[in-house]
Structure 1
């Protein structure tokens, strides 16, 4: 008997025709393409989910025995009154951490003790507000200032805004648009309006951090990184293109009050000292506002805030984005009394005509 010649594909059966072999190859290609498409769609879905998923809930601390929670009229805040008739009011703003955190509460308590009525405002990632820092309505800050002015214990002619990081960016921007603010303290400041801090804003650009009347405030897109996880090059490279986008620079000259800025030269989050000097240069060229810039050569992004010892966990955490715990603690110990003295000097007397 003559043995039958088998096929590689049929385990010894009759050989397949050329048409059969092509049919098998087509099926294999379809399966492979299907698998690839599935992986692409799955990866795209995961990517989109990561971009659009809600932010993790931010820290929201209780106001404590000397304060109270405000959750009314579109405001979510902690309020600390000085308990004296007709004392100045301060709108206190945190940064990109959102919520109502411990570090800002410590500042609020110190300002309260110094004789100020303080509204620590939650402007994103709090109940009733957007979970991400993008297109935050400036009207929210205006509403906070209006609320302070309406309080019987607040001197409505003596209003200040104190903020750090993104809160400093908001503070300076609001002061150029809301009449009657007499003082701004900007810790780790910015001279421009930046794109929002959300996945789509960072990846695609064109989504501002702030809006007014439903219209986004012109914002500067982030630049390219250097291949590392550091954020500083993203901001530095973006600022190198600022000349092409002058509409994104904060028009500080529209603020008629007094401005104090505090920055650390070793800030690794964003270039707060170069941006502070840019604000100062623009103000001096325009002739207003009166500006004071405090710089600390060895401090980082924790340069301003409630004084804490270097071994405190907050100072150890902040040291990861610039400076050392010791340098940041020393900068806070030096800058905070100057912040209070600046507020005392600016708000103690009636405003100039």
Structure 2
């Protein structure tokens, strides 16, 4: 009997699944295929293997000979999935409803087949693997208090738990999957939208840091209840002593800003390919606008498929006025810069180098850099389909983010583990982890 064994079949997105094909003809060639559908858009991957003398193929031991990836890649069937032929170009896999699972169908076929042929053949066996961003011991609470909005994820129970604010880039709206996973790993995570969500401003124009300053009442917690603020402030499930900030792209910039302007309230900051310079006109604090780095839209160089990359718009950060950079030297907390060396959105490596130089001038060494070769802009939790290009609402075009699938996938695995370790160490509290406490950073 031919079958695919996948253990565990239901697990958090950042956990590995052991996949083994059993019962095929010893020494035979087979193709393993993965398929996924999200919001009616299909993703898939395939890999070519040769069975051992027992008629088995263990992805933790056997090397893929071709297909979507090559080599021994235990989770290759998951991270290498890309849009299936005929699907809408530019769709990014980003889980919208984290209360539902990412359902991946694994199938095995006789022979080494390509994508076109696979659809014309019946699989020898199939199985379903379900991965989720939200664990069973996590609460999801809507925030609508005063001017602030969003979604709060927390581990069940009285706590106290370390807390962080989680922000994404300038596409607007709310993206919850990372906060859900942070909470599944023992952190209270407030997924914070700052424009284009409910009754918030439609754009980032004239956004002021006062909006974010209100958010630090997280140390007492936000609930969706309309009960009095005194009752809300009496909650104690957040670990005292400061919160963490994390964001990617523009959200990473805001994570640094919050640490710099409210050092007494932020105990750790993570910037994932965030600009360390102000890129948005109109952003300011207490009525004073920040200087920002200008760029020329005319410098876009569309590729043959009409996709664009933001890095075309920028000069070398070494030539920029120092006034456009975030005053990171004001931050007293540890800062973690996560850098994709092939980031095509903007010159992250160069900007981080300038900010590190700024820190050193002021005698600061409260920073750590994770820099990844052949890695692009969107560094996200591991084992979901890697995104190296997608449609961007702001630009109205498909953006190329940079990176190579394999190297980018490896970077996501490493960066996620080290970000968790960073917050466990610096935000405080005793972490809950589904698979045990990770080693020190």
- State the alpha-carbon separation in 2 of the partners of residues 339 and 162 from structure 1: 9
Residue 215 of structure 1: aligned partner: 288
Summarize deviations over 1:142-201 as a string: whole Å, max 9, x none: 11122344442112313100111100111111111112211001000222111x3xxxxx
The number of residues matched between the two structures is 271
- State the alpha-carbon separation in 2 of the partners of residues 224 and 332 from structure 1: 30
Residue 254 of structure 1: aligned partner: 330
1:231 aligns with 2:320: no
Residue 266 of structure 1: aligned partner: 342
1:92 aligns with 2:162: no
Question: Runs of 4 or more off by more than 6 Å in structure 1?
Answer: none
SS at match of 1:87: coil
- 1:62 to partner: Cα distance: 5.5
Q: 1:161 aligns with which of 218, 221, 245?
A: 245
1:190 aligns with 2:300: no
Summarize deviations over 1:99-124 as a string: whole Å, max 9, x none: 112xxx22212211221111101101
Change (3 A) 1:289 1:223: farther
1:114 aligns with 2:185: yes
Contact residue 308 and residue 315 of structure 1 kept, 8 A: no
Q: 1:71 aligns with which of 135, 144, 148?
A: 144
Q: 2:265 aligns with which of 180, 185, 190?
A: 180
- State the alpha-carbon separation in 2 of the partners of residues 158 and 88 from structure 1: 9
- Identify, as 1 or 2, the structure richer in strand: 2
Residue 306 of structure 1: aligned partner: 381
Residue 201 of structure 2: aligned partner: 130
- Identify, as 1 or 2, the structure richer in helix: 1
Residue 7 of structure 2: aligned partner: none
Residue 30 of structure 1: aligned partner: none
Contact residue 340 and residue 377 of structure 2 kept, 8 A: yes
Change (3 A) 1:345 1:313: closer
Q: 2:360 aligns with which of 275, 278, 284?
A: 284
Contact residue 164 and residue 186 of structure 1 kept, 8 A: yes
Q: 1:335 aligns with which of 403, 411, 415?
A: 415
Residue 32 of structure 1: aligned partner: none
Change (3 A) 1:68 1:224: closer
- State the alpha-carbon separation in 1 of the partners of residues 160 and 380 from structure 2: 26
Contact residue 300 and residue 310 of structure 2 kept, 8 A: no
- 1:130 to partner: Cα distance: 1.4
Gaps of 5+ in 1: 1-58, 197-206
- State the alpha-carbon separation in 1 of the partners of residues 300 and 387 from structure 2: 28
TM-score normalised over the length of structure 1: 0.70
Gaps of 5+ in 2: 1-93, 100-137, 221-232, 303-308, 392-398, 431-441
Change (3 A) 1:217 1:128: farther
Change (3 A) 1:227 1:168: closer
- 1:344 to partner: Cα distance: 1.1
SS at match of 2:350: helix
- Structure index of larger Rg: 1
- 1:129 to partner: Cα distance: 1.5
